[in-house]
């Protein structure tokens, strides 16, 4: 039973004809908010063993902040680019979990909407229902069973917008 955290990238600069979409960086405020969320989650005791990130700049920059805060490795994962397929990712995850998974292990997936909620919904109830709301730097936590099948077998234990991790 490994946990998966699906985390949406932070606020990026507006689309700009001069900048390819995949090159849009986080804004200064987006970076600050991402750091704040990552730091609070780390202090709350969240564990992240490994980060997979979409290759787009705004996701990579978000992942780098989480990787530094949680002191864990990160790897680019093409399937986390917009439109990527969960089923394909699970063919990597199944064997990884058998070797490295467990109760205190978690993989964070940094990517985009509507893909992340679609992945979470497929894990929870086997199909996309579009009923989960994931804000930028919001987080979804799902536990998945030790072995296949994974689709429709997950449990949802966390879904929160960044303001739930604000300074008050």
Cβ contacts of residue 22 below 8 Å, gap of 6+? Answer: 55, 56, 57, 81
Q: Does 151 bind its own copies (CB under 8 A)?
A: no
CB 63 within 8 A of CB 57: no
φ/ψ (deg, to 5) at 16? -145, 125
Rounded distance between C-alpha atoms, residue 104 and residue 92, angstroms: 19
Number of residues that bind its own copies (CB under 8 A): 23
Q: Does 164 bind its own copies (CB under 8 A)?
A: yes
Q: Does 45 bind its own copies (CB under 8 A)?
A: yes
Q: Which is nearer to its own copies, 74 or 116 (CB)?
A: 116
At closest approach, how far in Å is the CB of 149 from its own copies?
A: 14
CB 39 within 8 A of CB 97: no
Q: Does 154 bind its own copies (CB under 8 A)?
A: yes
At closest approach, how far in Å is the CB of 19 from its own copies?
A: 31
Q: Which is nearer to its own copies, 50 or 159 (CB)?
A: 159
Among 27, 40, 55, 105, binds its own copies (CB under 8 A): 40
What value, to the nearest 5°, has the Cα angle with vertex 59 and ends 147 and 106?
Answer: 30
At closest approach, how far in Å is the CB of 155 from its own copies?
A: 5
Rounded distance between C-alpha atoms, residue 3 and residue 154, angstroms: 9
Rg (CA), the chain: 15
Residue span binding its own copies (CB under 8 A) among the ranges 12-20, 51-59, 77-85, 152-160: 152-160
At closest approach, how far in Å is the CB of 24 from its own copies?
A: 25
Six token digits for residue 135: 């804000």
- Chain positions 118 to 147 lying near its own copies, rule: CB under 8 A, are 124-125, 129, 131-133
Rounded distance between C-alpha atoms, residue 117 and residue 121, angstroms: 6
- Which residues sit at the interface with its own copies, rule CB under 8 A? 40, 43-45, 124-125, 129, 131-133, 154-161, 163-166, 168
């Amino acid at each position: 039973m490994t946990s998966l955290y699906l985390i949406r990238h932070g606020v990026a600069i507006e689309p700009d004809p001069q900048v390819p979409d995949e090159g849009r960086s986080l804004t200064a405020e987006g970076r600050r908010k991402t750091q704040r969320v990552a730091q609070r989650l780390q202090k709350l005791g969240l564990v992240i063993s490994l980060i997979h990130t979409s290759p787009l700049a705004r996701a990579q920059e978000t992942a780098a902040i989480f990787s530094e805060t949680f002191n864990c490795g990160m790897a680019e994962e093409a399937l986390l680019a917009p439109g990527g397929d969960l089923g394909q990712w699970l063919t990597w995850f199944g064997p990884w979990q058998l070797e490295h998974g467990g109760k205190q292990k978690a993989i964070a997936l940094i990517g985009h909407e509507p893909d992340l909620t679609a992945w979470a919904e497929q894990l929870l109830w086997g199909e996309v229902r579009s009923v989960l709301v994931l804000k930028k730097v919001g987080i979804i936590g799902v536990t998945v069973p030790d072995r296949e099948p994974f689709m429709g077998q997950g449990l949802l234990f966390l879904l929160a917008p960044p303001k739930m991790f604000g300074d008050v």
